[in-house]
Amino acid sequence: MRKVVNKPDLKLLVFYGLIFIPTFFLCYERNLSFFFVIVAMLLTSVIEIPIYKFRTKKPEYSELEAMCIGEFYGVPIAEEMQADNERAFKTKVTLNMGGFIIPLFFSFYLLLSYSALLLEVAMSVLLMTLFSYMLSEVKAGVGIVVPSYVGIFAIPLGFILAAPLELPLETTAGLLIFAPAIFGILLGVLIRLVTLPKEEVGSAFFNIGGIGSFHSIYLISLLALLIGVVA
């Protein structure tokens, strides 16, 4: 069962661990704080903070379908469907520590540090929210799924907004790429959750910033870090 502390994906940890080694040396003389935020996001991505409960309809998967989808997304759908012997999930909404809490607070920190760029950030966040919402989907038994490439849209958008201001690349990467991508993806997921048709689709968990959306958040975070240090 999915719990407050989930089982980590060891292959993913090893992969990102190898990426962190050269990245650390790139960040050593500058932007080291951003690097440690990225590391903290990965290490705490197994922690979920439950905030809300409601009931949603269980999907009509066969046992084989539930096992295949569960293996693909790394969630025990078959076990969750059999729990309680009821026709509805006792759904829990959780906030992922590494995919919601930490990047959100760091984004607010960056925003407060460069409050003069609120208009540019707001424009980017609005577009990222629309983009994220349109491409996200509710996968029965899994939760809200956001394609991993969604955040990449923030990169060209950030450079377009930064060009007239002649901002340093480090500032562009943090304030106009990372922060809008985080705000946009999370807002898109939250809007999708609020407008969820509970009588049509359901899941035992909706992990905001976790399963279904963590990869999109982490990929753009890592790319923003690399963009900021290669100038």
Number of domains in the chain: 1
Q: Using CA atoms, how far apart are residues 46 and 44, in angstroms rounded to an integer?
A: 5
pLDDT, residue 93, reads 94
Check whether 1 has a pLDDT greater than 60: no
Q: Using CA atoms, how far apart are residues 150 and 181, in angstroms rounded to an integer?
A: 9
pLDDT, residue 21, reads 87
DSSP 105-130: HHHHHHHHHTGGGHHHHHHHHHHHHH
∠ CA 142-145-149 to the nearest 5 degrees? Answer: 145
Domain membership of residue 73 (yes or no) is yes
Domain membership of residue 112 (yes or no) is yes
Domain membership of residue 3 (yes or no) is no
In single-letter form, the type of residue at position 188 comes to G
Per the prediction, the chain carries an average pLDDT of 88
Which of 4-8, 165-169, 177-181, 201-205 is predicted with the least confidence, judged by mean pLDDT? 4-8
Q: Stretch 25-50: mean pLDDT, rounded?
A: 89
Q: Using CA atoms, how far apart are residues 70 and 65, in angstroms rounded to an integer?
A: 8
Q: Using CA atoms, how far apart are residues 200 and 10, in angstroms rounded to an integer?
A: 34
Q: How confident is the model at residue 223 (pLDDT cuts 50, 70, 90)?
A: very high
Residue 61 near residue 81, CB atoms below 8 Å: yes
In this structure, what token pair is assigned to residue 13? 């940890």
Expressed as residue numbers, the domain containing 43 is: 10-229
Q: Stretch 134-158: mean pLDDT, rounded?
A: 93
Q: Using CA atoms, how far apart are residues 169 and 176, in angstroms rounded to an integer?
A: 10
- Residue 77: its H or E element: helix 77-82
Of residues 62 and 21, more confidence is placed in: 21
Burial code (b: 16+ CB inside 10 Å, e: under 16) for 119-158 equals ebbeebbebbbebbbebbebbbbbbbbbeeebbbbbbebb
Residue 150 near residue 131, CB atoms below 8 Å: yes
pLDDT > 90: percent of the chain: 50
pLDDT > 70: percent of the chain: 95
In this structure, what token pair is assigned to residue 88? 């509805």
Q: Using CA atoms, how far apart are residues 218 and 181, in angstroms rounded to an integer?
A: 10
Domain membership of residue 2 (yes or no) is no
Check whether 2 has a pLDDT greater than 70: no
